[in-house]
Structure 1
Amino acid sequence: MKILIACSLLLLSFYGYSQDLNARVQILSPQVQSTNKRPLEVLETAITDFLNNRKWSEAQLQASERIDCNLVITIKEWDGSSNFKAEAQVLSSRPVFGSTYNSTVLSLNDKNFDFNYSEGQPLDFADQNFINNLSSLLAFYAYVIVGLDADTFSKLGGSAYFSKAQNVLNNAQNAPYTGWKAFEGLRNRYWMVENLNNKSYLPLREILYAYHREGLDLMSDNLNKGRKNIAEALPALSTLDKQKQGAMFNQVFFSAKADEIISIFSKSDPLERTKIYNIMADADPANATKYEELKNAK
């Protein structure tokens, strides 16, 4: 009996250390007229369990080390049965060493998060083939989240996970759902994973490491040193091909980091603020007005 209890505790301990994501899932349906929202509650639970109870990386993490992420799915159309047209907001963050602050790593909107799901249906997934669109969508973003998180802790540490996301995308090429193919737009899952696996974007992935591990993580012990390291990393943004300014990965980075960069350098001396303004306004012209705060800060 003691042996059985010990084995059970060992298994529970392994389970607690084996998962990767701490996902919070919310399903919104402001446009859905149905009064029976129970199927949506069941769906929300199924998605949460799928993301949180699967192993997405090879790392053995304690519960406190799981990657915080949020998935907000807004149902635009529902036939009352199993067909859903939706969009999703995907967010992930990682803790900053020596602080209670979490830094946003991923922030994007997927306008084509359509899927088919029946209440009680098991969410099956296999890396080798396409089973259904919902599990493929969730697996795709799970690998992207884990990969970007890994990139912030070790230089180019997310490569294996971006390859897995690429595999999910490849398996979905013949699926009758939008967002998986190159010709369907410039800001979709195809281009996100293409950018993440494209050598042209290695400088941006290396910035992720320097920004977080050599910058933010040092700031609680040495504010000036951490901020200096970030300032030295950001000029690499200018090495990105100007023709790719509208690229998906670029925009995801700026969406996650624009406000944070302004906050980090708002207390810098005027010379450094002007330098960072010039770098960011050139690399991210869509947010140039926002970066004006750096020049106007006192």
Structure 2
Amino acid sequence: MLIHFSASRFIIVAGALLVSTTLFSSGDLAGQQLNFTVTINSERARTQDREIFDNMKTAFEQFLNGRSWTDDEFRPEERIKGNLLITINDMPQVGVFVATVQIQTVRPVYGSNYESLMFNFADRNWIFEYQESQPMEFNRYSYLNNVTSLLAFYAYIALGLDYDSFAPRGGNPYFEIASNIVANAQQSPRPGWNQSQSDRRNRYWLSNDLFTSQVMVPVRDAYYLYHRRGMDMLVSNPKEAFKNILEAIKKVAEANQVQPNSILTISFMDAKSDEISKVLKSAPLEIRQEAVEVLLRVDPNNARRYNDILKG
């Protein structure tokens, strides 16, 4: 097993844990940090030109996977794996697309061949212009277009959450850049970047919860406790791991009590509810009982799943 220590992030590779048939599809340059697969569902698009979506998929993947997002060098097997599912809902005019985006990232668990779902988020309001073979230009200091701004935003969110999971609040530099992307995009007429009270599940509020809001800091701390001090320790020290997973859930509940149904709390539970229900079935009874009590307060919609934890 290899443990690689970069400047501010612990990157753990257990055997061939991260190796998959698609891992090296975007090249093996050490400067790249992401390994995303882009899928485009264009069934609703009113156009006969289907090639544009093949071109779009290739361009988006190259943008995400082909550039360096941080000065830290990642080996190919250390890159952050993710999926970007883009559903084209409408094409009101040539070159303009109305879409929803589902973003998912995973993180390897030390000492196993298991990958934990880190981020599972639906961006429901993305309107963008795209012409075949258009240059994918991005400047982190200014807004250029709604395509690369959104892709770069989620690239930095993925990096920030990954770093948070390996070191307490290790994602700060990346969440700051994501916040700057949001600020630069305020000039855009496109939705998703603004402080909308009617849409609290957009890019503005996600960035706000991760970088600006002090109320949400416990959720960020939960990412570290849950992954580095919990999931990574399940094999070597399960007793301590279960305690830390419970503590992570309590931190999410702490933030939720102050600010119910925040976008970050919902995002955390969307990614973790199924995993928590399975992992905690092996925990001591007192841990299970306390965890279920907290989980039912934070995420009552999954009550049946959490009550099953008590069965062991």
Normalised by the length of structure 1, the TM-score is: 0.91
Q: Which residue is equivalent to 2:273?
A: 258
Q: Is the 8 A contact 2:242 2:287 kept in 1?
A: no
Is 1:223 matched up with 2:238?
Answer: yes
Is 1:272 matched up with 2:284?
Answer: no
The amino acid across from 1:131 in the alignment is L
Q: Deviations over 1:135-192 (max 9, x none)?
A: 0000100000000000001110001100000000001001011111112511111100
Per the alignment, in what secondary structure is the counterpart of residue 35 of structure 1?
coil
Is 1:181 matched up with 2:194?
Answer: yes
Identity of aligned residues (%): 35
Per the alignment, in what secondary structure is the counterpart of residue 182 of structure 1?
coil
Q: Please state how far the C-alpha of 1:291 moved relative to its aligned partner.
A: 1.5
Within the candidate set 291, 296, 299, 1:284 is matched to 299
- Looking at structure 2, the residues matched to 77 and 274 of structure 1 have their Cα atoms a distance apart, in angstroms, of 47
The amino acid across from 2:50 in the alignment is K
Q: Is the 8 A contact 1:34 1:80 kept in 2?
A: no
- Looking at structure 2, the residues matched to 77 and 238 of structure 1 have their Cα atoms a distance apart, in angstroms, of 38
Per the alignment, in what secondary structure is the counterpart of residue 199 of structure 1?
coil
Within the candidate set 36, 50, 59, 1:37 is matched to 50
Q: Please state how far the C-alpha of 1:207 moved relative to its aligned partner.
A: 1.1
C-alpha root-mean-square deviation of aligned residues, in Å?
A: 1.7
Per the alignment, in what secondary structure is the counterpart of residue 103 of structure 1?
strand
- Looking at structure 2, the residues matched to 137 and 40 of structure 1 have their Cα atoms a distance apart, in angstroms, of 17
The amino acid across from 1:201 in the alignment is M
Within the candidate set 91, 94, 115, 2:107 is matched to 94
Per the alignment, in what secondary structure is the counterpart of residue 278 of structure 1?
helix
Is 1:242 matched up with 2:257?
Answer: yes
Q: Which residue is equivalent to 1:6?
A: none
Equivalent pairs counted in the alignment come to: 284
Within the candidate set 155, 163, 184, 2:168 is matched to 155
The amino acid across from 2:54 in the alignment is E
Q: Is the 8 A contact 1:195 1:248 kept in 2?
A: yes
Q: Please state how far the C-alpha of 1:294 moved relative to its aligned partner.
A: 1.6
Is 1:135 matched up with 2:162?
Answer: no
Per the alignment, in what secondary structure is the counterpart of residue 110 of structure 1?
strand
Q: Deviations over 1:74-112 (max 9, x none)?
A: 001124631000000000011011111111111010011
Per the alignment, in what secondary structure is the counterpart of residue 266 of structure 1?
helix
Q: Which has the larger radius of gyration?
A: 1
Q: Deviations over 1:3-39 (max 9, x none)?
A: xxxxxxxxxxx97111110000000012124333100
Is 1:190 matched up with 2:188?
Answer: no
Normalised by the length of structure 2, the TM-score is: 0.87
Q: Is the 8 A contact 2:28 2:76 kept in 1?
A: no
Structure 1, unaligned stretches of length 5 or more? 1-13
Judging by fraction of residues, say which structure has more helix: 1
Is 1:115 matched up with 2:128?
Answer: yes
Q: Deviations over 1:101-129 (max 9, x none)?
A: 11111101001121100001011000111
Q: Which residue is equivalent to 1:77?
A: 90
Q: Which residue is equivalent to 1:207?
A: 222
